Amino acid sequence: YRNGWLIKTVTKSFAVYAATATEKQEWMAHITKCIEDLLRK
């Protein structure tokens, strides 16, 4: 699954798949920004 990745937490894991490599990059950038925003609070 070329455009997939795992999101892991202590209690759950999620397999996520994007339709294209570009869509995957967009998802990863958005997730990274959300994490950074949460850590700044």
Our CA dihedral for 19, 1, 32, 12, rounded to 10 degrees, sits at 120
Cα–Cα distance, 21 to 17 (Å, whole number): 10
Using 50, 70 and 90 to split pLDDT, how confident is the model at 41?
confident
Cβ neighbours of residue 24 closer than 8 Å, sequence gap 6 or more: 3, 4, 5, 18
- The pTM (predicted TM-score) of the whole model is 0.75
In this predicted structure, the answer to whether residue 11 has a pLDDT above a threshold of 90 is yes
Predicted confidence at residue 10, as pLDDT, reads 96
Residue 12 three-state SS: coil
The domains of the chain are located at 4-40
